[in-house]
Amino acid sequence: MSVPSHSLGITRYQLFCVLAASLSSLNYGWNYGVVNLPGDIITKCDAGPQYFTNKFPSCMPTSDTIWGLVIGAFPLGALLGAISCTHFANAYGRRAVLIYSNIISIVAAAILGTALNIPMLITARFLVGIAQGCANGTYSNYVAEITTPRARNTLGTVIQLSICMGTMLSQLVSLGLVKPPLWRVLFATTGMISIVSIWLLTKCVESPKWLISKQRIYEAQNNLQRLRKSADCTVEFATLVETVHAEMGPHSYTATVPDLLRGRTPNNLRHQLLLAVLGMSFQQLSGIGGVSFYSTRLFTSIASAPSAEYTSKPQLAQILTAVVSTVGTVAALVGAIMAGYFGRRSLLLFSHGAMAVSSLLIAVGSVKGYNLLAITMVFIFYCVYIVGAGSLPWIFPGEMTPIYAVSAIVAVSGSIAYACVFVVGIVFPLLMNAWNGYTFLLFAAINFIATVLFFFLLPETKDKQVSEMIRIHSVGIHNVMKRKYRQEN
C-alpha cells in the first residue's frame, strides 16, 4: 500500500531539484564575498605598480568610496532583479526564471573577466546583481512549492547554506587568485557556476503549484508524482488544486507590488508584508554586511595587522576571513538540522538576541584592545546569524501568505534587503573610519530592537497549514502574544 505523499520527508528527486536550484544562491554568495580579499589589490595596487597585459590593467587605482560603489552595484542590481522578477516568475514559471537569470550571470561574468576600468566593473556587478536578486526570490518560492511540509523544515534552509558555501568558496579560492591577473578569473567564475546551474535545472521539473495556477493540471500531477517518488499523491494533489483555486479566487487573481502596498488584495496582508520587510531589513542591518564585505579590513583593524607584503603570502586577516566563511558553512549545516527541531520564531529570536550580545562584545574587545575577545565574537556573530536571521526571512513569509501574493511580498522584502545591503556596503567603511570599534554598538542596538519586535509580531509558522496561517493572521498588524493568537497557534 502506497504511503500518502503529504507525509513524506525528503525524496531523492526532491533533493536534486532543490540542490540544482540552490546553485543560484551559491552564486549569490560567491558574488557577495568575492570582492573582499582582492579589494586592496585592485584599488591600491598592493601587488606592485600598475602594468598592462594585452590592454588589461593589473589594477585600477581608485578611492574607497568608488570601490564602495563597485561593491554596492551588486545589491543595487539585486534590488532591481527582485522587483522585476515578480511578473516573469508568475508568467513564465519558477524554473524558467532561474534558468534565464543564469544567462544574465554569464554575460556579466564575461564583462567582469575583461574589465578595462572601474565603470565596467560597476556595470558587470550591477548585471550579476539583477540576475542573483531575481534568482534568490524565485528560488525560495520554488523550494516552498515543490517540497512536503516535513522536507521543507530542512530544505528551506538550503538557501542560506548555499549562500554560505558560495561565500566560503570565494574566500578560499581568493587566497590563491588575488594576484593580478588572476583576480579576473576569480570574478569571472560566476559564469562557470551559472553554466553548471543551467545544465542541472534542465533536468528539474516546474513547480506543480504554479502549473495548477496556469490550469496545466495534467502536467502538474505528473510533476508532483516525480517529486514524491512512488507515494500516493491523490489526497495531496486534490488539496493542492483546491488550495490554489481558493487562494487565487475565481478570476485567477495575482497580486502586483502596487496592489500589495496599497492594501488592494482579497486578504488583509499588512501583517505578512510587515514581517517580511522587517525580516529582510534586520537581516542586513544586523551588521552582517560589514562582516561579509569588509571582514579582512575589520580583522586588520582589530589585530592591527600590517598590510605589507599583502600578496606575497596570506596575512592573518586574510586567513581569518577565509576561516570565518568556512565556519559559517558548518553553522549553516547545523542550522539546517536545528530547523527540523526548533520553531522559526524561537530560532529568529535566539539569532538576533545572540547577535546583539556578540556585537556589544566586539565593540568592547575592539575599543579595549582585547583582540582575542573581538575576533572570537566575530566568529560567534557570523554563526548565530546563519542559523536564524540568515535563512528564516526567506522562509516564513511563504508559510503565511496566499500564492497570489507570495511573489509580490518576496519582491518587496527582497528589494528592501538589497537596498540595505547597498547602504551598508557604502556606509560601513565610513563608520569604521569615524567610530572604529564603537561601530558595533550601533549593530547591538539594531539587533536588540529586532528581538523585541519579532517577539511581539512573529507567530510560529513551522508545521502549520498555510491556509490556517492566512485565516488567523490576515487581520492587519497585530500583537501575536495576545491570548486569542496564542491559543490558535
Q: Is the pLDDT of residue 31 over 50?
A: yes
- Predicted confidence (pLDDT) per residue in 339-395, tens digit: 878 889 999 999 999 999 999 999 998 888 888 888 889 889 989 998 899 888 988
For the cut 60, the answer to whether the pLDDT of residue 411 exceeds it is: yes
Residue 311 pLDDT exceeds 60: no
pLDDT at 136 exceeding the cut of 70 = yes
pLDDT at position 309: 45
- Strongest mean pLDDT among 145-154, 188-197, 384-393: 188-197
Most confident of 54-68, 102-116, 412-426: 102-116
Q: What is the model's pLDDT at position 189?
A: 96
What pLDDT was estimated at residue 307? Answer: 44
- For residue 268, the SS3 value is strand
Predicted confidence band of residue 435 (pLDDT cuts 50, 70, 90): confident
Res 140: pLDDT:
83
Residue 458's pLDDT is 94
Bridging pattern class, strands 56-57 and 52-53: antiparallel
Question: Which pLDDT score, from 0 to 100, does residue 378 have?
Answer: 87
State mean pLDDT over 238-265: 81
| Lowest-confidence region among 2-6, 36-40, 166-170, 289-293 | 289-293
Polymer length in residues for the chain: 489
| pLDDT of the residue at 300 | 66
Instruction: Give tens-digit pLDDT for 446-479.
Output: 999 999 999 999 999 887 877 888 888 989 999 9
Q: How confident is the model at residue 118 (pLDDT cuts 50, 70, 90)?
A: very high
Which pLDDT value is given to residue 270?
93
- As a whole number of Å, the CA-based R_g of the chain is 22
What does the pLDDT read at residue 282?
Answer: 96
488 — pLDDT class (breaks 50, 70, 90): low
Between 185 and 256, the more confident residue is 185
Q: Is the pLDDT of residue 252 over 70?
A: no
In this prediction, what percent of the chain has a pLDDT beyond 70? 93
How many whole angstroms separate alpha carbon 222 and alpha carbon 440? 52
Taking residues 273-290, report their average pLDDT: 91
Share of the chain above pLDDT 90, in %: 37
C-alpha 483/C-alpha 241 separation (Å) is 33
pLDDT of residue 372: 85
* Residue 250 pLDDT greater than 90, yes or no: no
Q: Quick one: pLDDT at residue 306? A: 46
Phi first, then psi: give them for residue 74, nearest 5 degrees. Answer: -65, -55
Mean pLDDT of the chain: 86
Torsion from C-alpha of 186, 190, 192, 197, nearest 10 degrees: 150
Residue 296 has pLDDT above 50, yes or no: yes
pLDDT of residue 131: 95
What are phi and psi for residue 269, nearest 5 degrees? Answer: -105, 20
CB 145 within 8 A of CB 209: yes
**What mean pLDDT is predicted for residues 56-69?**
87
At 312, the pLDDT band (50, 70, 90 cuts) reads: very low
Specify the amino acid at residue 240.
L
| Residue 310: predicted pLDDT | 44
Of 213 and 220, the structure prediction assigns the larger pLDDT to: 220
Joined together, the cell numbers standing for residue 282 give 534586520
Task: Quote the pLDDT of residue 308.
Answer: 41
Distance between CA 176 and CA 194 in Å, rounded?
22
Q: What is the DSSP string of 92-138?
A: H-HHHHHHHHHHHHHHHHHHHHT--SHHHHHHHHHHHHHHHHHHHHH
CA distance 388 to 360: 19
Give the pLDDT of residue 313. 53
Instruction: Please tell me what DSSP assigns to residue 397.
Output: G
